[in-house]
Structure 1
Amino acid sequence: MNLLVDRLDSAEKRGSANAQSVALGERTWPALYKAQRESEKEELWGYLGELAKWGWLAVKPDAAVRSQSGYANSPRVTVANEAEVRRAVSRGERIKSAPERWRAAVREGLQGSDEVKAAVSEFCVDMPDRAMSEVVERLNELPSLAGKPLLLREVSSQLFWGMSKVLDKRQGLVAAILGVDECPFPESPIQLQVFLPPAGYRGVLFIENLMSFERATRSMSSAFEGLALVYASGFKGSAQRLRTPDGCSLYYAARGGISQDLRDGFEVWLFGKGSTPAFFWGDLDWSGMRILSAMRTSFPSLTAWEPGYSLMRVVLEEGKGHSPEAADKQGQKPLEIAGCAYADAQLIPVLQVHGKFVDQEQIYL
């Protein structure tokens, strides 16, 4: 019976509603099939017959359980009363993992074909304060929102009790339920803060940190002359949707140029139709190098901004950098190549040698 419960547990882990029958033999019931005397075998077989009479087990072929030597007929056994079998061996219902509970909730509650349920089962939604059955009930309301001009997070808020991020990275779930190839609801637009020099610009500089961006917009340094400045926080600048009008919301700084011609020219470049050089300036640490590398997927010609990074490199070489632990950055993973010739030749090697970082805010220009 312990073996049978093992099989039940294994079936549940696979997401199967029923366990397969067990073929009895030396491997599965050695106490019987390796017994020396026929009387021992008949006694043990009689016990199994009793379990079958009680309705705990089912035996095939049917005639085997009625014969004293039915064990010789290659019988197969299936659990017929799981609760009683588990109770007999003191093994209550197995604690199921979140993905198993999600599959069960989808199987029992989602309105859709088996193919749809299989696809949705791959996107486990485990909300601490809600039963998975409640989540599935809300997913059944998703088709009523199809065709409405909503962002993905707006859809999430309407379905899941005001929580806007439930469907993040779950576009495949949405597409499966709606029976379409791609999720029809766009992600939230990326918000970019942009400073355009009134006299025009010859390049675009993405700045990672907000304080450094604000300082740059006020700076009189010639280093920023002729550069449009863009605040790009963290990895959001790497998103492909940044270069589409629907995926990006632009906010122009009032102290910069805000003429229609300047804005039109910037947007022509941003949305992929211009050739203005682009640069990135962030922290001199592994995270900064990874942001540079990631942004190059959206801006292939993007390079590290030498006027800023050259000063940071000097700080690091003079031993004035900080340890990863000092700034709670010990979890950053090294990067071998960022794809930018200057970063790969000058910045990554100096990080490897010194093992310390320099924050962008430390540099004044």
Structure 2
Amino acid sequence: MTQKKESIVREALRKMAGKNAKLNPGKLQSRIMRTTGLDTVSIKIGMQALLDKKEIEAVEWDSMNCMPLGQMSLNLKPLPVEPHVHSWQQAVSISSLAPKAKKALSHKRVAGKMKGASDGFMVELIRSIEVLIQGQDDIPEGSPLFEASARFLCGSSKMLDDFGPTLLKTIGLDVERFSRSPRYVIVAGPPSPEAVVLIENPHSFERAIQSDASCAYVCTYGFGLTMSHDGYGTLLLENITTHLPHLKTLVRRGNPPKIRTLLEHQKLFFWGDLDLSGMRIYDSLHLQYPHIRLSALYGPMLKSLKEGGSHPYIPAAGKGKPGQPVQHKKLGELKDSVAQRVANLCAQRAVDQEIVLEGFKELSMHQLSEAMIEEFFNE
């Protein structure tokens, strides 16, 4: 019975300490009680057992309750290694992989993902990794990572991607040799557009191309991400910055120039949701494309914000990231003063771009200016 209480108290202390090796004594007994449901007598028995084994130490103790009177040091017995973790680490240790690769693959984050696999499969997988590393020079450059994974790693297309680029580099795989999942942008417009608008959300992209044929519009659909409202802008940013060299362009309407040509257009604008996330996306785009500006299509959204057609940052509105307004305070000044002004205006409430249903032909041609903010927000 004492051993059970000892074990329960040990795990409670481990949970409370996290990665720390010390615990403060403040209300420790009450905290253990809330965590375990044990009464004070049971907690005392468990603490005394740990003290006797020198798993916990402190300079002074309340002997009546067996509680530390100062900071308590922890030297808790380590958790038992799960069988699948032990089997995986054993398979790694007997392989011919380099010491650095063995250390990386033995990490519990990797080993933990082998739960449910047989010992034989683990040995086979390690051998497959060895074959892949040794024969990677024979794989044509630009080969899809998912294909290489399926071909070499026991028919699993996702395993290499799940390992992640850092681990793959550490074990000796040249990740630059492989292409990732295909990336796409959708474009629409004439051969010589009067302006180019990068649009965060696909619904607004569809509305824009139905209303105007003089400008070019660029958007990212949900390839590689879930089809969530929050992910489109981030994917657009990644595609036209990090992944531009390998980007595939799909023409939705018209005969627009190539994406690189569109991004060099002197009238390059960004239009997304009127929220802090949208301003962060724009700020990152501005670093890569200094000539980009916020689109005048933000104007009607500012007017809606002023008139009460806005929502707070809550999960029900698809903007439930805790502390988003707080993060804005850490953002610092944006590179673009107009964007900074807009970020200040939408710090507490937001407006999604789908609220704009008309005016595309005129507004797509212009950038959002301080004067327009005054016109739309203060009229």
TM-score normalized with structure 2 length: 0.57
* 1:114 partnered with 2:113: no
Cα distance, 1:122–1:147 mapped onto 2, change above 3 Å: farther
Equivalent position SS for 1:188: coil
Q: How does 1:1-365 map to 2 (within 5 A)?
A: 94-95=80-81, 104=89, 107-108=92-93, 110-121=95-106, 124-125=109-110, 126=113, 129-130=116-117, 133=122, 136-143=126-133, 144-149=135-140, 150-158=143-151, 159=153, 161-164=155-158, 166-167=160-161, 170-178=164-172, 180=174, 183-198=176-191, 200-220=192-212, 226-232=214-220, 233-239=232-238, 240-244=241-245, 247-253=246-252, 255-257=253-255, 262-263=257-258, 266-270=259-263, 274=264, 276-305=266-295, 307-325=296-314, 326-331=316-321, 333-334=324-325, 335=328, 336=331, 337-345=333-341, 347-352=342-347, 355-365=348-358
Residue 94 of structure 1 aligns to which amino acid in structure 2?
P
Amino acid at match of 1:230: V
Tell me, yes or no, if the aligned pair for 2:92 and 2:105 is still in contact at 8 Å.
no
Whole-angstrom distance in 2 between the partners of 1:252 and 1:123: 46
Q: Residue 316 of structure 1 aligns to which amino acid in structure 2?
A: L
Matched residue type, 2:149: S
Which has the higher Rg, Structure 1 or Structure 2?
1
**Structure 2 CA distance, aligned partners of 1:165 and 1:314?**
49
Whole-angstrom distance in 2 between the partners of 1:269 and 1:123: 47
The alpha-carbon deviation at position 296 of structure 1 amounts to 3.3
Partner Cα distance (2:53, 2:337) in 1: 68
RMSD across aligned C-alpha pairs, in angstroms? 3.7
Q: CA deviation at 1:310?
A: 1.6
CA pair 188-147 structure 1, distance change in 2 beyond 3 A: farther
Query: Partners of 2:168 and 2:82 in 1: how far apart?
Result: 25
- Deviation string 1:271-297 (CA, Å, 9 cap, x unpaired) is xxx453422111112222222233334
The 3-state SS of whatever aligns with 2:309 is coil
Stretch moving more, 186-195 or 333-342 = 333-342
Q: Distance in 2 between matches of 1:139 and 1:207?
A: 42
SS at match of 1:238: helix
The structural deviation recorded for 1:179 is: 5.6
Partner secondary structure for residue 287 of structure 1: helix
Q: CA deviation at 1:235?
A: 1.0
Give unmatched runs, 5+ long, in structure 1.
1-5, 7-27, 31-90
Distance, in Å, in 1 between the alignment partners of 2:312 and 2:337 is: 26
Secondary structure of 1:124's aligned partner: helix
Identity rate, percent: 25
Per-residue deviation, 1:356: 1.7
**Are the equivalent residues in 1 in contact too, given 2:219–2:236 (CA < 8 A)?**
no
Whole-Å Cα distance in 2 between the matches of residues 121 and 92 of structure 1? 17
Spell out, residue by residue over 1:202-239, the C-alpha distance to the aligned partner (whole angstroms, 9 max, x if none).
4321111111101111104xxxx643100133312222
The total of aligned residue pairs comes to 259
Distance 1:202 1:128 in 2: 57
